């Protein structure tokens, strides 16, 4: 087994096949993770906690399972990085804050418990921003240490980007999966709001917190998505959508209906990013037998998305972190500023913002009914320098309106740095969105996998 590039050379799919054939062992997979961590520059910054002994203990349990049962489970022995706002029974959960240093919840978040039942190995806790907000932590961008790796899911994106793990869990309340995926040049997936249970995960904003993941190989995305999401009649809205054949897969013989979004942020994006997306859309339209592309028009109400989001977000922060705010010497100026803005928001204004969010969600659902997918930029170009403000993008709009999103590592800037293509679809059309992404992969429009970072 080649260990030079860690999991760049070994997808989860290929490893599960190897386990079925008896060609590899869980301990060998664990060694791949541990050795890559030791050799990859920046890996220690991507993880808050990484314990080779714990990884090997979990691999040993996987070997016992295989001896007893023969066939591997769906995530058998696959190392997964876990953002340090998810409860874990065998690691502290410190949420990027000195106030919670050494805190041990004693249990697993529900989604962590779920992937463990499927055989996954928790490879460690990945670096996050303070309380998953905006204050960047220790994680560095593996492509350029001077630049941001994104904010709250930064460690998860960096860990995947370095090939230490094939997957890492993340969360998104604005753009905290899509942006790190774009800036670090890996795949990101934010499922429809509510599809992945949030029990045992730090709460920041009730109507927007979403759980997803970062991935190295495109072929691995469906496997983890299906393990993480809820299933069955106890979830009637999503279950009905997932049982609808036309919301799961495009009917044979029909062309893909694709919306191309420029929108109200277009003029704020750098020319190289706009040109990249325009050229990509032109190439997609060349597959005329399979694809119909048309430009999407957003309503004026969508232009208020960032304002509505700030009202809801800041008010929630001022509520959930009141105790932490009292210990101001251990709270960043960034968080204090957002909370102070939240304290000034009157209940009536907050409730109106929630109504506007609900109305905009319904409006976007109506718009997206007409398309299998809508394409836009994941971010307004490549990663800004650390400390610079990240430019607005459409990730926040899709998060606020509860739609599924995939960020694909498609573009390279004039600086030689990655940035992503964003795909979205109607809420609960997650499988259709992944099916469309699979079509894009089949015609060479998105890559098989992320590329290893090469620092110039």
Catalytically active residues, by annotation = 83, 152, 176
Question: For residues 258 and 295, is the Cβ–Cβ distance under 8 A?
Answer: no
Question: 3-state DSSP call for residue 75?
Answer: coil
β-partners of residue 189 are 213, 406
Which residues touch 220 (CB under 8 Å, ≥6 apart)? 11, 12, 13, 166, 167
As a whole number of angstroms, the distance between CA 17 and CA 35 comes to 22
As a whole number of angstroms, the distance between CA 168 and CA 227 comes to 14
- With residue 115 as reference, give the H or E element that holds it: helix 110-117
Q: How far is CA 100 from CA 83, 332, 359, in A?
A: 15, 14, 37
Cα end-to-end distance, the chain, whole Å: 28
Question: For residues 184 and 418, is the Cβ–Cβ distance under 8 A?
Answer: yes
As a whole number of angstroms, the distance between CA 38 and CA 46 comes to 12
- Note the Cα 437 to chain centre separation in Å: 15
If we measure between CA atoms, which residue out of 387, 331, 390 comes closest to residue 136? Answer: 387
- With residue 152 as reference, give the H or E element that holds it: none
If we measure between CA atoms, which residue out of 58, 61, 100 comes closest to residue 80? Answer: 58
Query: For the chain, what is the total number of helices (H) and then of strands (E)?
Result: 17, 11
Q: How far is CA 403 from CA 46, 54, 89, 315, 367, in A?
A: 28, 36, 31, 23, 12
Question: For residues 347 and 288, is the Cβ–Cβ distance under 8 A?
Answer: no
Token digits of residue 381: 């170009």
């Amino acid at each position: 087994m080649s260990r030079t590039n860690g999991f760049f050379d070994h997808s989860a799919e290929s490893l599960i096949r190897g386990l079925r054939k008896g060609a590899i062992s869980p301990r060998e997979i664990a060694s791949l993770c541990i050795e890559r961590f030791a050799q990859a520059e920046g890996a220690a910054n991507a993880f808050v906690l990484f314990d080779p002994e714990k990884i090997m203990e979990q691999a040993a349990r996987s070997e016992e399972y295989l001896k007893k049962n023969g066939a591997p489970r769906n995530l058998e022995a696959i190392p997964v990085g876990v953002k340090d706002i998810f409860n874990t029974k065998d690691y502290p959960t410190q949420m990027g804050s000195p106030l919670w240093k050494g805190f041990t919840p004693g249990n697993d978040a529900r989604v962590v418990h779920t992937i463990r039942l499927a055989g996954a190995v928790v490879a460690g806790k990945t670096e996050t921003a303070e309380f998953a907000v905006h204050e960047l932590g220790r994680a560095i961008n593996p492509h350029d240490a001077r630049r941001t790796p994104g904010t709250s899911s930064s460690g998860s994106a960096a860990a995947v980007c370095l090939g230490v793990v094939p997957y890492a869990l993340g969360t998104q309340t604005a753009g905290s999966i899509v942006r790190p995926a774009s800036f670090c040049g890996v795949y990101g997936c934010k499922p429809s709001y509510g599809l992945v249970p949030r029990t045992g995960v730090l709460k920041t904003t009730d109507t927007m917190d979403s759980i997803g993941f970062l991935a190295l190989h495109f072929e691995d995305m469906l496997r983890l998505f299906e393990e993480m999401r809820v299933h069955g009649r106890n979830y009637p809205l999503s279950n009905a959508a997932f049982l609808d054949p036309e919301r799961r897969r495009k009917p044979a013989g029909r062309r893909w209906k694709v919306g191309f979004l420029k929108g109200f942020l277009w003029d704020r994006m750098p020319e190289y990013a706009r040109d990249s997306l325009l050229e990509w859309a032109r190439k997609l339209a060349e597959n005329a037998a399979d694809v119909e592309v048309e430009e999407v028009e957003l309503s004026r109400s969508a232009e208020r998305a960032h304002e509505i989001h700030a009202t809801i977000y800041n008010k929630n922060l001022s509520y959930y972190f009141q105790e932490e705010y009292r210990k101001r010497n251990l709270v960043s100026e960034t968080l204090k500023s957002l909370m102070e803005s939240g304290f000034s928001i009157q209940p009536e204004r907050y409730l109106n913002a929630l109504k506007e969010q609900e109305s905009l969600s319904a409006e976007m659902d109506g718009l997206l009914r007409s398309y299998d997918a809508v394409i836009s930029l994941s971010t307004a170009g490549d990663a800004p320098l650390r400390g610079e403000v990240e430019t607005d993008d459409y990730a926040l709009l899709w998060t606020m309106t509860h739609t599924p999103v995939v960020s694909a590592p498609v573009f390279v800037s004039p600086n030689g740095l990655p940035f992503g293509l964003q795909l979205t679809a109607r809420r609960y059309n997650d499988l259709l969105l992944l099916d469309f992404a699979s079509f894009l992969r089949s015609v060479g429009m998105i890559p098989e996998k992320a590329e290893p970072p090469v620092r110039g």
